[in-house]
Amino acid sequence: MQLREQIEALAARPSNEFFREDRNVFEEFKTALNRGEVRAAEKEASGKWKVNSWVKQGLLLGFRMGAITDMSVGESFKFFDKDTYPARPTNIDDGVRIVPGGSTIRDGAYIAPGVVCMPPMFVNAGAYVDEGTMIDSHALVGSCAQVGKRVHISAAAQIGGVLEPVGAVPVIIEDDVLVGGNCGVYEGAVVRERAVLGSGTILTGSTPVYDLVRGEIYQRDASAPLEIPAGAVVVPGARAVTNERGRDWGLSLYAAIIVKYRDEKTDTAVRLEDYLR
């Protein structure tokens, strides 16, 4: 509670003039993020996800507080970023497998033991990645994104982050989800446990999701984000443009389609990742 009050007070300060003791508070905040002791969103007993707005305020505070500094590695790899967000310190005792090849985890992100990072991948500040998850090559976990246990984020998948507005739910990927290659999950979409996103599936705030099994259409509204039901198997599809010009031209728009719910056959198909650990 004390850390929260300190962060909220600093975030409310109208000027960008900060002192050493203020920087110490921010470093304490980042340490708590790195340890998973605080996070941008948490799942309540009801199953609903609650945003911790003060954590987002703290992350934004880091950009105001920081100054651009040289983070280059030798003469060949030039990097210039805010000194408040260097690469996250890691060591062998963290129990995280980081395969050589150019991956980066930004300071202020929680990476649990047993996570596998295939190169090159990137995890942004404020993200939370739980135990046993694999982040494959060319994948992104955005700022404040919440990724559960035993998730597979396949090659070139993009898990967007939602840092602003501070009250908005970030992207949520719950336990045992498979995110296929070249998928994109953005704008606070919530993917419930054991769902499977087929390769190329895109989920945004405006994406309609058609459930062929239950006869439902899922969309984001003013009170709730887009939510993919637990165990749903989602693939990219299309819906016809029904106005006159659309019919004449044979046009269609992208749509995500739930074709089934996870069963033993689906589990067998996604079990390959177990052999890669």
- Give tens-digit pLDDT for 1-55: 899 999 999 999 998 899 999 999 999 999 999 999 999 999 999 999 999 999 9
Q: Is the pLDDT of residue 269 over 80?
A: no
Does a structural domain hold residue 25? no
Does a structural domain hold residue 16? no
Q: Is the pLDDT of residue 71 over 80?
A: yes
Domain that holds residue 111: 94-266
Does a structural domain hold residue 106? yes
Does a structural domain hold residue 226? yes
C-alpha distance from residue 13 to each of 22, 23, 60, 165 (Å):
11, 14, 13, 18
pLDDT for res 1: 80
Work out how many domains the chain is built from and give that number: 1
pTM of the model as a whole: 0.94
Indicate the SS3 state at residue 23. Answer: helix
pLDDT digits (tens, 9 = 90+) for 127-161: 999 999 999 999 999 999 999 999 999 999 999 98
In angstroms, rounded to a whole number, what is the distance separating the alpha carbons of residues 242 and 235? 22
Q: Is the pLDDT of residue 255 over 80?
A: yes
Q: Is the pLDDT of residue 173 over 90?
A: yes
CATH assignment of the domain containing 215: 2.160.10.10
